[in-house]
Amino acid sequence: MTYPPRAPFPATRLRRVRSHDWSRRLVRENSLSVDDLIWPLFVFNGSGSQEIPSLPGVLRWGTDEIVDVAKRAVDLGIPAIALFPATEPGLKNEEATEAFNENNLVCRVTREIKKAVGDQLGVILDVALDPYSSHGQDGLVENGVVMNDETNAVLRQQALVQARAGCDVIAPSDMMDGRIGEIRSALDDHGFANVQVMSYAAKFASAFYGPFRDAVGSAASLGAADKKTYQQSPSQSDEAIHEVALDLAEGADSVMVKPGMPYLDIVARVKQTFGVPTFAYQVSGEYAMLRGAADAGWLDGQAVMLESLLAFKRAGADGILTYFAADAAEALA
């Protein structure tokens, strides 16, 4: 057998397609658009806004401001927001009863927002007890143990008051076993068959949630306790696939991986394995890390923001929950 003469080295020069902007655009494999963004927003019962020291540039919005912020999301073209309440300490108790009060803060605010923006913006509400419990855990606690099935019964009630308030997507972030099926059946039984369920399916017991716990005020309640008996260990990968498989079987419309950047391997595996709508949460600690370094002048804030969000797309995420959503939407406009 004869071989053709070998081309002079190097025959392949990858730099050729990189050498012009038009060519880089033509070969681009992944891109970020405003359609990929979900904006998490914190609300409190009061007026104006409050700063959150561990989340520079992110505010807690008062009930008189949040509707305007939602309208801003619409103007920016952001498809959906995720609302998180900072509950007044006096309303927290062991049983987290405020979670299923149909006039609680997130329910009131959701009604106002939906009245103002209608179908121009999706409203996503978290299901978990930590913003409402005096112990800061996501579930009911008995003798120091977070009770699974008892918690699910309460989560059903929480999901129902949120659906009645008009939220479009229920996002269970509690990591109880079987909660997606419980919530799906509760919604279906009460006329909410069209309310979506976005499961925080692969949620890890992460130290990157710190600033969020400051923002909603659960850090003080939680104290030195952790969530390792229900959130996954950072060492796990197959277990995340198992979690996603169960949540899909129980009726989840979409799944989420959380945190984001340190878990892009999980995002990629989930998307490749299941081919379902897959979201990633660039959580508070990830935002604080990038934002803090940018504020100190160590990183180019806009560049790392866009690069980090594009990395989620490359990993296979269909969308990203990010505190940078409004900044990114502006940068992309």
Active site residue 228: no
Residue with tokens 């300490």: 89
Q: Is 283 in the site for ligand PBG (CB under 6 A)?
A: yes
Please, what is the minimum distance in Å from the beta carbon of residue 53 to ligand PBG?
A: 15
Q: Which one of the listed residues 92, 114, 203, 271 is annotated catalytic?
A: 203
**What whole-number distance in Å separates Cα of residue 109 and Cα of residue 85?**
10
Residues 88-127 binding ligand PBG (CB under 6 A) are 126
Q: Binding ligand PBG by CB under 6 A: which of 44, 61, 212, 324? A: 212
Measure the CA angle with vertex 326, ends 318 and 198; round to 5°: 35
Write a three-state SS string for 117-160: HHHHCEEEEEECCCCCECCCCCCEEECCEEEHHHHHHHHHHHHH
> Does position 204 bind ligand PBG by CB under 6 A?
no
H/E stretch holding 255: strand 254-258
214 scored as a contact of ligand PBG (CB under 6 A): no
Known catalytic membership, residue 258: yes
Q: Give residues 34-63 in contact with ligand PBG (rule: CB under 6 A).
A: none
Q: How far is the CB of 214 from ligand PBG (least distance, A)?
A: 10
Closest residue to ligand PBG, judged by C-beta, is: 212
Q: Which among 114, 258, 271, 313 is annotated as catalytic?
A: 258
> Which residue has tokens 């992110």?
58
Please classify residue 274 by burial: count the beta carbons closer than 10 Å to its beta carbon, then call 0-12 exposed, 13-18 middle and 19+ buried. middle
In the complex, minimum distance from the CB of residue 82 to ligand PBG, in angstroms, rounded to a whole number: 8
Asked if 60 and 44 touch (Cβ cutoff 8 Å), the reply is yes
Binding site for ligand PBG (CB under 6 A): 126, 128, 130, 138, 173-174, 209, 212-213, 227, 283-284
